[in-house]
């Protein structure tokens, strides 16, 4: 299996994440035209942070994104920017959605974020354990 390694000036890393965020009240407002707009907004924001979106897809009430990051990226700031900017632009460009989401929030305040590995945790543990003095 090929392991994808990114490189910085003095580092090598592989940081991949799976992010899920739901629309407030799980309202089914992510119709195709809104989804396309949302994906473009997300790509623009990611570019400003030096983050690469690998995949992103929506259901009617949530979005899932797989992205690659650099070690210097502050993930909470990146995600908060994704949520706040996309919400503001969707409300601006699709004002009818605001009527379904009272209170001024587009996204639920919570989200899911996990690392995505290319190697199983058990394999890494076994490798580290094998590095002891023999």
Q: Which one of the listed residues 3, 13, 19, 127 is annotated catalytic?
A: 127
Tokens for 91? 């409300």
Query: Are 3 and 119 spatial neighbours (Cβ–Cβ below 8 Å)?
Result: yes
- State the DSSP string of the chain: -PPP-EE-SS-EE--EEEEEEEBGGG-----HHHHHHHHHHHHHHHHHHT-EEEEEEE-SSEEEEEEE--TT--HHHHHHHHHHHHHHHHHHH-HHHHHHSTTS-SB-S--EEEE--SS-HHHHHHHHHTTS--
Assess whether 127 carries a catalytic annotation.
yes
Cα–Cα distance for residue pair 37/59, rounded to 1 Å? 14
Catalytic residue list: 127
């Amino acid at each position: 299996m090929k392991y994808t390694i990114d490189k910085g000036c003095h580092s090598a890393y592989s940081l991949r994440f799976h992010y899920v965020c739901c629309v407030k009240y799980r309202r089914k407002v992510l119709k195709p035209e809104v989804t396309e707009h949302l994906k473009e907004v997300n790509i623009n924001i990611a570019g400003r942070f030096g983050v690469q979106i690998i995949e992103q897809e929506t259901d009617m009430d949530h979005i899932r994104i797989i992205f690659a990051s650099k070690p210097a990226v502050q993930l909470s700031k990146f995600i908060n920017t994704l949520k706040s900017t996309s919400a503001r632009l969707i409300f601006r460009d699709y004002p009818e959605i605001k009527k379904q989401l009272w209170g001024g929030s587009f996204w639920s305040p919570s989200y899911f974020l996990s690392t995505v590995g290319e190697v199983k945790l058990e394999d890494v543990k076994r490798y580290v354990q094998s590095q002891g003095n023999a």
